[in-house]
Amino acid sequence: MLFVDAHCHVDLYDAPLNEIDKAEADQVGVLVVTNAPFVFRPCRDLFEGKRNVWVAVGLHPELVGKYAQQVTELIRHLKVTRFVGEVGLDYRVTDPATHLIQREVFGRIIAACNQRGDTVMTIHSRGAEADTVSMIGDLARGTTILHWYSGAVKHLETAQRQGCYFSVNSKMLSSKNGRKLVSRMERSRVLTESDGPFTLIQGRRARPRDIPWTIKSLADFWGEEPEAVRAVVIDNWATVLNSEGGRR
């Protein structure tokens, strides 16, 4: 494995297995995130036997209103996987009651991960960065990854002090705010992601096999050679995989 896609919704492509086969051929490992617990087992079964594919059990905050009761199922799946995502908070919907439900669900997930101790969580925080980072700081063990972070620098810095990683995609590296945030991330805390199929590269949906493009963009931004950046990111991912509890 030469590259890692630390956040991809592979089940939402037209041919998920084909995407994984292409990633495998290009030596890209993939953390497959799911948006609801009932998607986890079908994904795990579909990708069984694939090298460098990790399937996470998730409950996307935008779906919490519909599937909040499935948090119990998510917690049950922690018996068979240490990977959790996509989970977190999203305050783009302004209803305070929805925010409360999201926090209750996210709190239960964090508590369950805290009990297991060796989980790897990929976390959504759009519009809710302060609350997300606060909840992680108070409760979380294991390893936490803030996916496509887009909030204030001060919350990024707090998360970084708490030991969070950040998964960076090509969209972030093409925007002024994204580049500002990436510039404040410690290189030892940076991972790469596609967030496919929700991001675009050259007008088409991003895929795991596009990670080398993201590495090149990150290298250009850092003023480094792509191979050096690739090595940093893959070493960071190895540290995540080898974590057995505690985020430092």
What per-residue confidence (pLDDT) applies to 195?
98
Place of tokens 């209750």: 104
% the chain with pLDDT above 90:
92
What per-residue confidence (pLDDT) applies to 243?
76
What per-residue confidence (pLDDT) applies to 162?
93
As a whole number of angstroms, the distance between CA 198 and CA 111 comes to 29
pLDDT digits (tens, 9 = 90+) for 75-115: 999 999 999 999 999 999 888 999 999 999 999 999 999 99
Residue 171 confidence (pLDDT) above 90? yes
pLDDT digits (tens, 9 = 90+) for 212-248: 999 999 999 999 999 999 999 999 999 999 975 433 3
Q: DSSP code of 247?
A: -
- In this structure, the number of other CB atoms found within 10 A of the CB of residue 92 comes to 9
- What residue spans define the domains of the chain? 3-242
What per-residue confidence (pLDDT) applies to 245?
45
What per-residue confidence (pLDDT) applies to 176?
97
Residue 125 confidence (pLDDT) above 90? yes
- Residue with the bigger pLDDT between 141 and 28: it is 28
Place of tokens 């500002």: 180
Least trusted range by pLDDT, from 22-26, 176-180, 198-202: 198-202
Band of residue 45 on the pLDDT scale cut at 50, 70, 90: very high
Band of residue 140 on the pLDDT scale cut at 50, 70, 90: low
As a whole number of angstroms, the distance between CA 194 and CA 181 comes to 17
* C-alpha to C-alpha distances, 112 to 56, 116, 139, 141, nearest whole angstrom: 14, 6, 10, 10
Spatial contact of 79 and 48, defined as CB atoms under 8 Å apart: no
Give CATH superfamily name and number for 3-242: Metal-dependent hydrolases (3.20.20.140)
The CA dihedral of 242, 33, 7, 106, to the nearest 10 degrees, is -80
Average pLDDT for 1-25: 97
Strand partners, 121: 84, 144
